[in-house]
Amino acid sequence: MTQKLLELQAEARDAVPAANNSADIEELRRHFLGKKGPLTQILRGMGNVTPEERPIVGKIANETRELIEQLLAEQTERVSARESESSFDAERIDVTLPGRALNVGNRHPLTIVLDEICDIFTGLGFEIVEGPEVETDWYNFVALNIPPDHPARDDHASFYITDDVLLRTETSAVQIRTMEQRQPPVRIIAPGRVYRRDAVDRTHCHTFHQVEGLLVDEHVTFADLKGTLDVFAKRMFGERVRTTFRPHYFPFTEPSAEVDISCFLCDQKGCGVCKGSGWIEVLGSGMVHPKVLENVGYDSEKYSGFAFGMGVERLAMLKFGIDDIRLFYENDLRFLRQFR
């Protein structure tokens, strides 16, 4: 019997690996392990075996079953791997064909910069406020300490609708409207569209955008102004950027300052953007003029504040290396798609 079992094992070792497909393997399974198969037959003849031999034969019989089952399992795996391989082969695609998706929409580059500015100041605890673009002479000029016939009006060539109504030339007008409505502390930024009666060229446009900032409270200092704008410049243009403040003149601030940032393009070695100076002018700022505070009924002895204003187009041009302001309004998709 032992002999028969060993022969069976040899037979299985030859036959099973030769099976080519799953049908043949099923056929072999029936042949070796079926009810009429040789193994079942042998086990049925166990009654004739002596009690001493029975455990030995039983052990070999089990080993034989296990071996055959293992051979069948291995062959099944081999065959099915081969079979699916050939069907994958039939489904092969060209992975180098171009991808296909709905286009990605992007924000306008000015939105990207404006959002960034607003996020920085929001993080510093500022509130975003808005005001009208069509303004009265009072809010745009007089309340900001620019009375009629003031020479500073020369720097603000304005589009007029009537004698008293014009397109605002700066977002500073929003300062007044906000302060009129509330008592200090005031901590706002006002983004928006402004207009100047300027001919259009690479760096000028009749329409552009500003972000105005204002902080009024007790004991607000020029040092606070410097600190706030230094933080802004670093967030906007990188931690290595330094700021410097130069005295300037704005009718609505006293003292006033222009703010330069160290050129982040050339590390202050001098390049076209900083015109070789290593510094780039980016902001106007100053301590709110007492007359402006008094114009909205604040006590200018008790309260002080700072204000600043920046051109969004200018910052965007610096940040993205754009050399022509007109590109922002031509809306050529080849331009707009570059900003994500």
Partner 1 sequence: MRVPVNWLKEYVKIDETVEELAHLLNMGGLGVEEIRGEGDDAVLVLEVTSNRGDCLSIVGVAREVAALTGQELKYPSCEVPEEWGPGSVTERASVEILDPDLCPRYAARLITGVRVAESPDWLKARLEAGGLRPINNIVDVTNYVLLELGQPLHAFDFATLQGEKIVVRRARAGETLITIDGLERDLAEEMLVIADAERPVAIAGVMGGLATEVTDQTVDILLESAHFNPTSVRRTRTKIGMSTEASYRFERWVDPSGPVRTANRAAQLMSEVSGGSVLPGVIDIYPKEIKPVKLFLRPSFVNDRLGTNIASKDVQEMLRSLEFAVSGEDPIECVVPTTRNDILIETDLVEEVARLFGYDNIPTTIPSGVSHQAGEGPRKRLERRARELMVRCGLQEVWTFSLTRPAAMESAGVGNGAAALQLRNPLTEDYTLLRTSMIPGIVEVLSNNAKVGNADVHIFEIGKIYLPKGDDKLPEERNMLAVAAMGSNWSGSWGLDRTTVQADFYALKGILTHLLEDFGVKEIGYRPVAEGNEERGSAKSLHPGRRAEVIADGIPVAILGEIHPMVADTFDLAGRAYLATLNLDALSATACLTHRYQSLLRYPAIDRDISMILRVEVAAEIIGDLIRETGGDLVESVTLFDVYQGNNIEVGKRSLAYSLNFRSPDRTLTDEEVDGCLAHIKDALREKLGAAIREG
Binding test (CB under 5 A) with Zn ion, winner from 266, 291, 300, 319: 266
Considering only residues 259 to 288 of the shown chain, the ones binding partner 1 according to CB under 8 A are: 287
Residue (of 179, 212, 190, 191) closest to 303 by Cα position: 179
In sequence order, what are the residues at sequence separation of 6 or more whose Cβ sits closer than 8 angstroms to the Cβ of residue 39? 8, 32, 33, 61, 64, 65, 68
Asked if 127 contacts 338 with a C-beta cutoff of 8 angstroms, the reply is no
271 binds Zn ion (CB under 5 A): yes
233 binds Zn ion (CB under 5 A): no
- At 313, phi and psi to the nearest 5? -60, -45
27 binds partner 1 (CB under 8 A): no
| Cross-strand pairs, 256 | 248, 286
Binding test (CB under 5 A) with Zn ion, winner from 72, 173, 190, 274: 274
Binding test (CB under 8 A) with partner 1, winner from 221, 269, 299, 338: 221
Considering only residues 307 to 336 of the shown chain, the ones binding partner 1 according to CB under 8 A are: 328-334, 336
Element (H, E) at 195: strand 186-195
What's the Cα-to-Cα distance from 313 to each of 6, 36, 187, rounded to whole Å? 90, 90, 24
Binding test (CB under 8 A) with partner 1, winner from 41, 62, 80, 111: 111
3-state secondary structure of 194: strand
Binding map of Zn ion across residues 124-143, x = CB under 5 A, - = no contact = --------------------
Scanning 18-26, 72-80, 96-104, 317-325 for contacts with partner 1 by CB under 8 A, the matching segment is 96-104
Binds 53: which of Zn ion, partner 1, none (CB < 5-8 Å by kind): none
| Cross-strand pairs, 310 | 211, 283
162 binds partner 1 (CB under 8 A): yes
Binding map of partner 1 across residues 163-202, x = CB under 8 A, - = no contact = -xx-x-----------------xxxx----x-x-xxx---
> Whole-angstrom Cα distance, residue 248 to residue 307?
14
Asked if 243 contacts 235 with a C-beta cutoff of 8 angstroms, the reply is no
Binding test (CB under 8 A) with partner 1, winner from 5, 68, 135, 314: 135
Binds 263: which of Zn ion, partner 1, none (CB < 5-8 Å by kind): Zn ion
List contacts with Zn ion (CB under 5 A).
263, 265-266, 271, 274
